[in-house]
Amino acid sequence: MPQVSVIIPARNEEASLGTCLESIASQTGVPFEIIVVNDHSSDRTAEIAASFANVRVIDAGPLPAQWTGKNNAVTAGAHVARGHWLLFTDADTVHQPGSLALAFTEAEEHHADLLSYSPEQIAITFWEMAVLPVVFAELARQYPPSKVSDPNSPEAAANGQYILITREAYDAVGGHAAVAASILEDVALARAVKASGRKIRFRYAADAVRARMYRNFSQLREGWTKNLALLFPNPGRLALKTLLLWLLWASLWMVAVFANIGRAWWNVADVAVFVLLALRLRRSNFKWDRTVLGAIFGMPMFAYLLLRSRRAHAQGNVSWKGRSYGGCPKEGNKEPPVTNSMKRTSLTPGKLA
């Protein structure tokens, strides 16, 4: 009987799935099984998964009304999982050697029912390098890991790229079936776990896992349009604040350059405001060169993506990987409640759906 069931939802992930599975299949120190859930892929995803002898490949099955594709896929994986712990991880992750045993030991030592790692983010293209430092700095400000991990704080969050949870806790809160309609299923699951009185541990974990979320600007724009309005309570206000801070620096810089103002105090003011912008991004866990790119180019793009996300959710037109979902019409990172018709019966480990 495996101690951990690793569940990977995969929809058209041929570009990254092989590397992900290689990094997981080579883990040692804890008995585990790997389940890849093929979510109606039209590329070589299923073929790549099946090429690994120790990987079980299943189909996600039909998508129920009002369910998101990911929630449907991971629920299918959980139905056949046999482990006492479930690790939900994405196909775009790369796991460091020994990280599974590390996570398992860390969760037990801290008596955590849910352990979530925020992976080191791989940024290669220009807009990845510029936008991701801004997004993750703001996420760290909105969801401080110290508060999320504090049982006395109501703050709850998780990163869906790496969620390790006990089977008991998962079934007790209804699993992903209980948040079936949630686009932001990782945070919704974490809130359910913490509301049940169970403990969460959340931290940045470059020592355990890396991830490349998006491979081009089109994916980046669609992905953050899907998520940003739900991650932040007031996306419109945050967009305005971010843009005003950036415009303050940009105005000082443009006046200094084009009006040819050589006064020392003006240049000092310009530099001081830029340092303020850079310090705002210091929580992102990116190196300084990416932080500079974020301050110069990423902040206005982040404001644009926030407003684009807010509009898409208000119009009920959110798209991801060829599927459309109704958005959340109100600010305050709330999502439509899950009705009883959306829920599936929780199954015991090893029982087929």
Q: Mean pLDDT for each consecutive 10-residue tract of the chain (353 residues)?
A: 96 97 97 98 96 96 95 98 98 97 97 97 96 96 96 96 98 97 96 97 97 95 96 96 92 73 66 86 90 94 97 93 75 43 36 29
Residue 93 lies in a domain: yes
Which residues, in sequence order, are bridge partners of residue 243?
A: none
Residue 340 lies in a domain: no
Helix (H) or strand (E) holding 249: helix 235-258
Tokens of 264: 């020392």
| 192 and 278 both lie in a single domain | no
Distance, CA of 124 to CA of 214 (rounded, Å): 10
What's the pLDDT score for residue 253? Answer: 80
| CA distance to 78, 141, 167, 243, per residue, from 348 (Å) | 9, 38, 9, 50
What's the pLDDT score for residue 262? Answer: 57
What's the pLDDT score for residue 263? Answer: 63
Residue 337 is given by DSSP the state: P
Tokens of 338: 């899950």
| 19 and 147 both lie in a single domain | yes
Whether 312 contacts 225, CB under 8 Å? yes
Residue 173 is given by DSSP the state: T
Helix (H) or strand (E) holding 165: strand 162-166
Pairing type for strands 114-118 and 162-166 reads antiparallel
Our count of domains for the chain comes to 2
Pairing type for strands 55-59 and 32-38 reads parallel
What's the pLDDT score for residue 331? Answer: 39
| 105 and 165 both lie in a single domain | yes
What's the pLDDT score for residue 266? Answer: 64
Length of the chain measured in residues: 353
Residue after which a domain boundary falls, among 171, 188, 214: 214
Write the burial class of residue 269 (CB in 10 Å: 0-12 exposed, 13-18 middle, 19+ buried).
middle
Residue 284 dihedral angles phi and psi, to the nearest 5°: -75, -15
| 61 and 195 both lie in a single domain | yes
Residue after which a domain boundary falls, among 214, 238, 266: 214
Residue after which a domain boundary falls, among 166, 185, 214: 214
Residue 316 lies in a domain: yes
Tokens 């959980």 locate to 78
Supply the range of the domain harboring residue 223: 219-325
What's the pLDDT score for residue 250? Answer: 87
| 148 and 296 both lie in a single domain | no
Tokens of 271: 């530099």
Helix (H) or strand (E) holding 243: helix 235-258
| 187 and 303 both lie in a single domain | no
Residue 55 dihedral angles phi and psi, to the nearest 5°: -115, 130
Residue 348 lies in a domain: no
Please, where are the H alpha helices in the chain? Answer: 17-25, 45-50, 69-80, 99-109, 126-142, 145-148, 167-172, 185-195, 217-231, 235-258, 264-280, 288-293, 299-315
Distance, CA of 114 to CA of 351 (rounded, Å): 22
Residue 331 lies in a domain: no
| 229 and 191 both lie in a single domain | no
Counts of helices then strands in the chain (DSSP H, E): 13, 12
Residue 332 lies in a domain: no
Distance, CA of 197 to CA of 199 (rounded, Å): 7
| 199 and 239 both lie in a single domain | no
Tokens of 21: 């599975």
| 23 and 159 both lie in a single domain | yes
CATH of the domain at 49: 3.90.550.10
* 250-259 exposure pattern, b = at least 16 Cβ within 10 A, e = fewer: bebbeebeee
Q: Could you tell me the end-to-end alpha-carbon distance of the chain, in angstroms, rounded to an integer? A: 19
Residue 193 lies in a domain: yes
Whether 189 contacts 179, CB under 8 Å? yes
What's the pLDDT score for residue 328? Answer: 62
What's the pLDDT score for residue 334? Answer: 52
| 224 and 277 both lie in a single domain | yes
Residue 268 lies in a domain: yes
Of 28, 1, 211, 232, the C-alpha closest to 124 is 211
| 210 and 288 both lie in a single domain | no
Tokens of 50: 């099946």
Please, where are the H alpha helices in 110-234? Answer: 126-142, 145-148, 167-172, 185-195, 217-231
Tokens of 41: 């892929």
Helix (H) or strand (E) holding 279: helix 264-280
| 192 and 281 both lie in a single domain | no
